[in-house]
Structure 1
Amino acid sequence: MTLAQLDLAAEVQTILGKLGVAADRYTGGTLAVRSPITGKEIGRLSEASATDAGQAIDAAHQAFLEWRLVPAPKRGELIRLLGEELRAAKASLGRLVSIEVGKITSEGLGEVQEMIDICDFAVGLSRQLYGLTIATERSEHRMMETWHPLGPIGIISAFNFPVAVWSWNAALAIVCGNSTIWKPSEKTPLTALATQAIFEKALDRYIAEGSKAPKNLSTLLIGGREVGEALVDHEKVPLVSATGSTAMGRAVGPRLAQRFARSILELGGNNAAIVTPTADLDLTLRGVAFSAMGTAGQRCTTLRRLFVHDSIYDALVPRLIKAYQSVTIGSPLQDGNLVGPLIDKGSFEKMQQALEAAKAEGGKVTGGARVLDGESADAYYVRPAIVEMPTQAGPVKEETFAPILYVMRYSDLDEALHLHNDVPQGLSSSIFTNDMREAEAFVSDCGSDCGIANVNLGPSGAEIGGAFGGEKETGGGRESGSDAWKAYMRRATNTLNYGRTLPLAQGVKFDVI
């Protein structure tokens, strides 16, 4: 079946109906949604205004005031039910992710699996919101830390992970006692509608089983920049977790800081890998190809820079180029295709501009051309590009959200580490080596400066157990697992005097009447 023969709008209608989304939610509005698979319209949604956003935030604040009184393990029960609903809806929601974003089937399903995994994590977390007992210098006193819900949590997500990022934030925020307000990317509102419907099914079950929960515990706001700004500027939103470009982060961060609100900024990553002389080249080839070409280079953890030692450059790079030339490109809904489309025309144009800039810096480009344009003029499929660069210059130091891998030689590990760290971005990284000293150096204080540092696997992908993020350019913040839950709570130190006296400064006396 050719791209022109795909009727994705009809399939979207069927999926959304199955998941409980009413047809009037995605028809007749002003926001047109197009699938990157064909470039054709698959939905049209109504958009919220800044006034609507303000009213929704007020309602979410009221929900927070009620939800914080529910014991944390009972809050975890709601997320357990959400995990069950996601399991039941995995095939449908995963398919919708593939249609709306252009991910291959396994990646669409994998994103929903991440949602399920974070629900499992959060359920256990609901019984582990621990505080420490602290040694105190005062006799007959006890000092401890306690953790309390923060308030309505704003979530701004990007198109490339349209549902997983929401779940990373929402599952933790809700078990911590907060409500959530979600503004998804304007490019992916249909998956957001579906996710909200799944959450509401879980909430209905939670209430039907005898538990109490307020309305507006999870709110969805579909709209453009003014809705995001309303979320960022509202005094009742103490934390905004925003995922997207560094340009977006530069706009969001200062506005939040102006009112002393918190931020979790998980932004772009100009991620790199170092290949040393002892590396297993077969393992390296697979790791590099998957992390550089997967999702058409549109992951925040996509491998974009590769430093290869002089002694193995001629053994590895020709094999890598051959793999790039042989990879199958096409509809992500068709089995066997490993690379799907770019999200839109703008992404394609930015890719071509980056390739031209690389050529101007002396780069040798292999690949990068548009393919399948004869099947659909409105869809943008490209051959992933390898660019052999003489130095790390020009576009190499910038992130282009497309399948471009810049390859450079190095002769000394210290030199490679310097080049690796010599960019402003710093989300994820990796080294391929069988030398223990090189591996340990890479993950040490003087090694990779990224939030994620891997050995013998690519930079893409992150497990729920490890907090995700830590982008160095912004100071970032972290989502998902580990101790990321603390970002969604406020810490208090409590001191209890169980004695009969009150210690005073030496020499201080007064009468108590």
Structure 2
Amino acid sequence: MSEQADSLYRRERLFIGGEWRPSTALDSIGVISPFTEQPVGRAPGTAPADVDAAVAAAQGALTESPWASWDAESRADALDRLADALELRAPATAGLVTAENGMPISVSSTVEGPGPARTLRYYAQLARTVAQEERRPAASGSGTTVVRREPVGVIAVVVPWNFPQSLTMFKVAAALAAGCAVVVKPAPETVLDAFQLADAAQEAGLPDGVVNVITGGGDIGAYLVGHPGVDKVAFTGSTEVGRAIGEVCGRLLRPVTLELGGKSAAIVLDDADLASAVRGLAWACLLNSGQTCYTSSRVLAPRGRYDEVVDAVADLARSLRIGDPSDPATRVGPLVSARQRDRVESYIAAGRADGARVVTGGGRPADFERGWFVEPTVFADVDNSAAVAREEIFGPVLVVIPYDDLDQAVAMANDSPYGLAGTVWTSDEDKGLEIARRMRTGTVGVNFYNLDLGAPFGGVKASGLGRELGPEGLAAYVEYKSVYLRR
């Protein structure tokens, strides 16, 4: 039976070892709507003793439960059942995410509702096709080596609030496909939707301890990351927190995957069809009110078409409907918190102080007495060294910067502490691919940007370590063992 109290948005217990257990923490976590600024619901807090119990349950799943002996086909079947259970909850989950973080329902109903089930099905199929063992003739010419793929073990999954369901499943699906067990700690802002995964895991009949869901803020996250029973950490979030996690894992010699921040560039070539490009830029630049790690928030435009590009991007920003995130017509919802709005507004003020020109936006929409809204904002006349051009803002703020030739455009795109994503906009796909090859970043989109489940996603430089998705994402949860046989 699903563990729910008074309503969908109230939870009373943590999900540990296949059971709903009372928390030993004295506090609880309240979630506030970014749109109404009223409570959405409440979840229990987590104490270190609860983390200990969750890690122990995950360890037990790898040594004592049926999960430890299941073959790849059995695990894949379990992933498919979990996908079925999540699909049944998809509409409710999408609505819950929208209520928690203000994501427009037009996005959450596509990405956060059915999206996790698609990821699970991809990894279920991959689990069926990747052999656990392979035999290789020894390079010395004598004997054979059996190379085994074995699960890393207990995975600490720490996820942010911006795409909580999708980013959780990028990690959980691959970890389960490899035979690992997970302890999931969501962000406090989106703690409620994480229990949808727990409900689904219980309904799908996953063995006890394979999936555990706890709660908590940075202190509990730090305790989990450094726990002696954890074998690997998978984290998505800010570069600042990622550095701290990386330091802990480095000291412990613990594997870690870090998907961190970005300040990606959109290079508009002089042959680009602006009408077509603008439609794609809406997704690449302003998805989820700019609270997207891969957003192309720096638009680099050829000097000969600079004014044209500025006008087109500004017209795009003005055209996006701001409003109630639960309304399917809304394209820009509120930011996740008052603190996040303050952060974004501080960058807008800094851009003005540095002499950049606000072409559109720059304030709060006048039509809303409540809600943590910021207007989609476009800056022109920005230097690539300015704070608004170099630092991750994580809000609906774009800068348009001119360039003189393609070499300069590529150099400017690469002149960033980050390297997560990027886009190229051109009528010549081959030229776009050529430019993409020269960009120092983990992913690039030509005339659009999309995450392909079958291809690796991740960044370079301050954007992180390791890759998620694709076969590479599965390999991140595997350890290799070589067994030499003398023949």
If the length of structure 1 is used for normalisation, what is the TM-score?
0.87
What is the distance in 2 between the residues matched to 1:390 and 1:193?
A: 44
What is the distance in 2 between the residues matched to 1:397 and 1:117?
A: 34
What is the distance in 1 between the residues matched to 2:484 and 2:381?
A: 60
Please tell me whether residue 188 in structure 1 is matched to residue 181 in structure 2: no
Select 2:483's aligned residue among 490, 494, 500: 494
CA shift for structure 1 position 356: 1.4
Aligned residue runs from structure 1 range 77-476, under 5 A:
77-110=77-110, 111-130=112-131, 133-203=135-205, 213=207, 215-365=208-358, 366-371=360-365, 374-376=368-370, 379-395=371-387, 396-436=389-429, 438-444=431-437, 447-458=438-449, 461-473=450-462, 475-476=464-465
Kept in 1, the 8 Å contact 2:274–2:312? The answer is no
AA aligned to 2:277 is: T
CA shift for structure 1 position 320: 2.1
AA aligned to 2:363 is: A
What is the distance in 1 between the residues matched to 2:385 and 2:35?
A: 33
AA aligned to 1:383 is: E
What is the distance in 2 between the residues matched to 1:486 and 1:198?
A: 25
Q: 1:15 to 1:91 in 2, by over 3 A?
A: farther
What is the distance in 2 between the residues matched to 1:437 and 1:51?
A: 56
Kept in 2, the 8 Å contact 1:386–1:405? The answer is yes
- SS of the residue corresponding to residue 490 of structure 1 reads strand
- SS of the residue corresponding to residue 370 of structure 1 reads coil
AA aligned to 1:112 is: G
**Any idea what the Cα deviations from partners look like across 1:268-296, whole Å, max 9, x if unmatched?**
11111100111111111111123222211
Give 5+ residue unaligned stretches, structure 2.
Answer: 1-5
What is the distance in 2 between the residues matched to 1:133 and 1:364?
A: 63
CA shift for structure 1 position 334: 1.4
Kept in 1, the 8 Å contact 2:77–2:124? The answer is yes
Determine the structure 1 residue equivalent to 2:75.
75
AA aligned to 1:113 is: P
Determine the structure 2 residue equivalent to 1:508.
none
What is the distance in 1 between the residues matched to 2:36 and 2:117?
A: 29
What is the distance in 1 between the residues matched to 2:412 and 2:368?
A: 41
What is the distance in 2 between the residues matched to 1:240 and 1:357?
A: 35
- SS of the residue corresponding to residue 236 of structure 1 reads coil
**Any idea what the Cα deviations from partners look like across 1:112-147, whole Å, max 9, x if unmatched?**
222011111111112123355444233441124221
- SS of the residue corresponding to residue 333 of structure 1 reads coil
Kept in 1, the 8 Å contact 2:259–2:464? The answer is no
AA aligned to 2:161 is: F
Q: 1:157 to 1:463 in 2, by over 3 A?
A: same
What is the distance in 1 between the residues matched to 2:213 and 2:466?
A: 23
AA aligned to 1:82 is: L
Please tell me whether residue 484 in structure 1 is matched to residue 473 in structure 2: yes
Give 5+ residue unaligned stretches, structure 1.
Answer: 1-11, 207-212, 499-513
Determine the structure 1 residue equivalent to 2:3.
none
Kept in 1, the 8 Å contact 2:135–2:146? The answer is yes
**Any idea what the Cα deviations from partners look like across 1:68-89, whole Å, max 9, x if unmatched?**
3211110111101011111211
Segment of structure 1 superposing worse, 422-431 or 192-201: 192-201
What is the distance in 1 between the residues matched to 2:481 and 2:433?
A: 37
Aligned residue runs from structure 1 range 16-95, under 5 A:
30-66=28-64, 67-95=67-95
**Any idea what the Cα deviations from partners look like across 1:63-109, whole Å, max 9, x if unmatched?**
12242321111011110101111121111111111111111112112
Q: What is the root-mean-square deviation of aligned Cα atoms in Å?
A: 2.4
What is the distance in 2 between the residues matched to 1:436 and 1:489?
A: 36
Q: 1:160 to 1:471 in 2, by over 3 A?
A: farther
Q: 1:364 to 1:184 in 2, by over 3 A?
A: same
Q: 1:422 to 1:329 in 2, by over 3 A?
A: same
CA shift for structure 1 position 332: 1.0
AA aligned to 2:172 is: A
Determine the structure 2 residue equivalent to 1:209.
none
Kept in 2, the 8 Å contact 1:93–1:112? The answer is yes
AA aligned to 2:452 is: E
CA shift for structure 1 position 14: 4.4
Structure 1 residue ranges, 4+ long, deviating more than 6 angstroms after superposition: none
Kept in 2, the 8 Å contact 1:157–1:183? The answer is yes
What is the distance in 1 between the residues matched to 2:235 and 2:341?
A: 24
Q: 1:249 to 1:467 in 2, by over 3 A?
A: same
What is the distance in 2 between the residues matched to 1:402 and 1:256?
A: 30
AA aligned to 2:364 is: R
AA aligned to 1:223 is: G
- SS of the residue corresponding to residue 381 of structure 1 reads coil
What is the distance in 2 between the residues matched to 1:68 and 1:14?
A: 33
CA shift for structure 1 position 429: 0.6
Segment of structure 1 superposing worse, 219-228 or 318-327: 318-327
CA shift for structure 1 position 187: 0.7
Kept in 2, the 8 Å contact 1:424–1:472? The answer is yes
What is the distance in 2 between the residues matched to 1:16 and 1:122?
A: 31
Q: 1:344 to 1:180 in 2, by over 3 A?
A: same
AA aligned to 2:365 is: V
**Any idea what the Cα deviations from partners look like across 1:318-361, whole Å, max 9, x if unmatched?**
12212222321000111311111100111111111111111222
What is the distance in 1 between the residues matched to 2:103 and 2:368?
A: 21
**Any idea what the Cα deviations from partners look like across 1:439-471, whole Å, max 9, x if unmatched?**
232232xx111110111114xx41211222134
Kept in 1, the 8 Å contact 2:261–2:463? The answer is no
What is the distance in 1 between the residues matched to 2:81 and 2:266?
A: 40
Which is higher, the Rg of structure 1 or of structure 2? Answer: 1
